[in-house]
Amino acid sequence: MLACVGDNVRHLRQQAGLSQQALADASGLSRRMIVGIESGEANISLSNLDRIAAALGISFSRLVRAPEAEDGTRIGSILWQGETANSRGTLLGSAPATSEVEMWTWSLAPGERYEGEATETSGWSEMVYVLEGRLTVEMEDGARQVDAGDFLIFRSPAPYVFVNAETGPLRFIRNIAV
């Protein structure tokens, strides 16, 4: 995960005048998890990072971006890594919206899966555009196939899974909007 996340959490927590326990309580995570994040030893999910950002009253992109990316429009940070080096999610940048819009580039090796957790905010929408391969999106109401050159837009208040069930590489663009 992004090397600067731990430093950002510590700095922003201290700036907000919160103890590690207070941030843990506000985010619904354990104090041990906060300690692990700040020390760079914890492996944290994207949804838990979002919970920390909400508890700190900041955007997700502000929490995860490198200090030199002050404006936040260009981030370029790998924030999810799969089992193989060919499976990753990279936050390219963000822009203001009602709350925020994020643009990611993703790749999944054959057989790889990314399990997205339910968002606490029901207003989140996801937009995916497949560049190469075929993306399977597993949702509560069934699976959807998205081929290269096609897209899918869906709300994400419930868990979902991105799957590369094919034998070749999968690359797609993912936008998240609130």
Backbone angles phi, psi at 51, to 5 degrees: -65, -40
- pLDDT, one tens digit per residue, over 6-33 is 899 999 999 999 999 999 999 999 999 9
Asked if residue 72 is part of any domain, the answer here is: no
Same domain, 95 and 136: yes
- 84 and 53 in a single domain? The answer is no
Asked if residue 36 and residue 97 are part of one domain, the reply reads no
Q: Are residues 47 and 88 in the same domain?
A: no
Does 84 share its domain with 31? no
Cα separation values, 173 from 22, 47, 111, Å: 36, 19, 19
**pLDDT tens digit sequence for 77-100:** 788 888 888 898 888 877 766 777
Instruction: Tell me if 71 is assigned to some domain.
Output: no
Compute how many other C-beta atoms are within 10 angstroms of the C-beta atom of residue 126.
20
CA separation, residue 59 to residues 37, 56, 62, 137 (Å): 17, 9, 5, 26
Q: Domain ends where: 21, 39, 64? A: 64
Shared domain for 55 and 81, answered yes or no, is no
Total domain count for the chain? 2
- One domain, residues 60 and 85: no
Residues 98 and 159 in one domain: yes
**Does residue 26 sit in helix, strand or coil?**
helix
Q: pLDDT by residue (tens digit) across 60-70?
A: 888 888 777 65
pTM to 2 decimal places? 0.66
State which residues form the domain around 24.
5-64
Last residue of some domain: 33, 64, 95? 64
**Rounded-to-integer distance, Cα 29 and Cα 99, Å:** 23
